[in-house]
Chain A
């Protein structure tokens, strides 16, 4: 068991709202750690539309998702937040008033006075193919991620997809697997051209197989795959014997373990008090797309506002002995010192 990380605030989600919350909390001398399931910061801005322009950030006529994420990282730099990327919060235990113990999928434990859920549309998780009867195979012979390459040594594996994940794992596993078959719906790949060329050379050399079609059915018993059927565009089925299947169809957003945190919810969204953005549980806040209240708009600018008000209330729990005096960054030397500009 690793050491417990003690912090004032744990922010769940490192999208734009989670990042800006670091700024608002930092101005009030509140230190934050952030956890995000993606291996990068920026949330949907970085994952779904890094190159698409956003036109409704106040004062910024046009900025891309990645640009906004980069700008926020620069803005919060003075507060030196700690990021825990590629992991998801799971368990929660109330151990104080308020004080929470939070665990993550990476086995970390946090003790925090305040939790800020800025989880957007939920955590990004692999899309699961809607193939009938797939559930018993999942995590036994159908895998959405490769944790240990060795597990696939001398196995017949089928990798499904046409993007970089499918191609990268095809190239990485081909040398150690008995046989790799890549299945993709069309004979065109959106992954990196260099990976596509390498894959095509392996196919030409007879070192792996490429099937154009979609997986239509699975065969096997007790969670162990024996074969799968690939349907081509004319509907013809082709059986491919295999020990494991690795589908890579990108990511989708799922609320995940937070739904078990005993928070008042409405349509998968967390209900909050509109003056503090606190949930029904003391010291647990929800900001950005994940929350709901009368008149809610899922806009980044609304999430920024929510973060500012949340910080005022969070201060009450983190520094109960200190009186909070409202200040402006333009005129307050004390705030400017925190920002490193005074």
Chain B
């Protein structure tokens, strides 16, 4: 199982095992990471699973699709490495992925 590291804005690190084929958002919810909200449950319609992909991983994760980029309009403090984690599928190639969650997002 690939490993994903979530780093919250206060520095809390969650290193979790992710199921292949699940989304990074689902992986966060299964591990009670409260700074991923996912109000719409993965529909790419709420922008509450916003993450910053670690610079070393940006290329492998790739850019958002046009519809995801449009939904990022509903997020705040959007950066070049911003993604909606419901739109990132866990693959073997993402073993070791590091993402950070924005300070404003949380339950």
- What is A's interface to B at a CB cutoff of 8 Å? 44, 48-49, 52, 121, 127, 129-130, 161-163, 184-186, 188, 190, 214, 233, 249-250, 252-253
In contact, A186 and B69 (Cβ under 8 angstroms): yes
B80 near A: Cβ within 8 Å? yes
B76 touches which of A121, A190, A233, A249 (Cβ 8 Å): A249
B13 near A: Cβ within 8 Å? no
Q: Which residues of A contact B69 (CB under 8 A)?
A: 186, 188
In contact, A162 and B39 (Cβ under 8 angstroms): no
Within 8 A of A (CB), among B74-107: 74-78, 80, 103-104
Q: Which residues of B contact A184 (CB under 8 A)?
A: 73
B103 touches which of A52, A130, A233 (Cβ 8 Å): A130
CA–CA, A70 to B48, complex, Å?
Answer: 27
CA–CA, A129 to B74, complex, Å?
Answer: 10
Q: Which bucket holds chain B's interface residue count? A: 10 to 19
| Residue of B whose beta carbon sits closest to that of A127 | B74
B22 near A: Cβ within 8 Å? no
In contact, A233 and B80 (Cβ under 8 angstroms): yes
| Residue of A whose beta carbon sits closest to that of B43 | A49
| Residue of B whose beta carbon sits closest to that of A249 | B74
Within 8 A of A (CB), among B29-44: 39-40, 43
Q: List 6 A-B contacts (CB under 8 A).
A: A48-B43, A49-B40, A52-B43, A130-B103, A185-B73, A249-B76
In contact, A44 and B73 (Cβ under 8 angstroms): no
Q: Which residues of A contact B25 (CB under 8 A)?
A: none
Chain A min CB distance to B55 (Å): 15
CA–CA, A71 to B48, complex, Å?
Answer: 29
Give the most central of B47, B73, B80: most A CB within 10 Å.
Answer: B73
CA–CA, A326 to B57, complex, Å?
Answer: 61
Q: Which residues of B contact A161 (CB under 8 A)?
A: 73
Chain A min CB distance to B81 (Å): 12
In contact, B43 and A130 (Cβ under 8 angstroms): no
- Known interface pairs A214-B78, A253-B39. Does A48 touch B45 (Cβ–Cβ under 8 Å)? yes
Q: Which residues of B contact A214 (CB under 8 A)?
A: 76-78
Q: Mark B31-72, 1 if CB is under 8 A from A, else 0.
A: 000000001100101111000000000000000000001101
Q: Which residues of A contact B74 (CB under 8 A)?
A: 127, 163, 249-250
B78 touches which of A49, A185, A253 (Cβ 8 Å): A185
CA–CA, A250 to B75, complex, Å?
Answer: 9
- Known interface pairs A44-B40, A48-B40. Does A190 touch B77 (Cβ–Cβ under 8 Å)? no
Chain A min CB distance to B33 (Å): 15
CA–CA, A166 to B51, complex, Å?
Answer: 24
Q: Which residues of B contact A188 (CB under 8 A)?
A: 69-70
In contact, A250 and B47 (Cβ under 8 angstroms): yes
Q: Which residues of B contact A121 (CB under 8 A)?
A: 39
CA–CA, A188 to B71, complex, Å?
Answer: 12
Chain A min CB distance to B8 (Å): 15
CA–CA, A127 to B50, complex, Å?
Answer: 14
- Known interface pairs A127-B74, A130-B77, A190-B70. Does A252 touch B45 (Cβ–Cβ under 8 Å)? no
List 4 A-B pairs, minimum CB-CB distance, nearest first: A130-B104, A250-B74, A190-B70, A48-B40
CA–CA, A48 to B80, complex, Å?
Answer: 25
- Known interface pairs A130-B104, A185-B78. Does A252 touch B39 (Cβ–Cβ under 8 Å)? yes
Chain A min CB distance to B52 (Å): 14
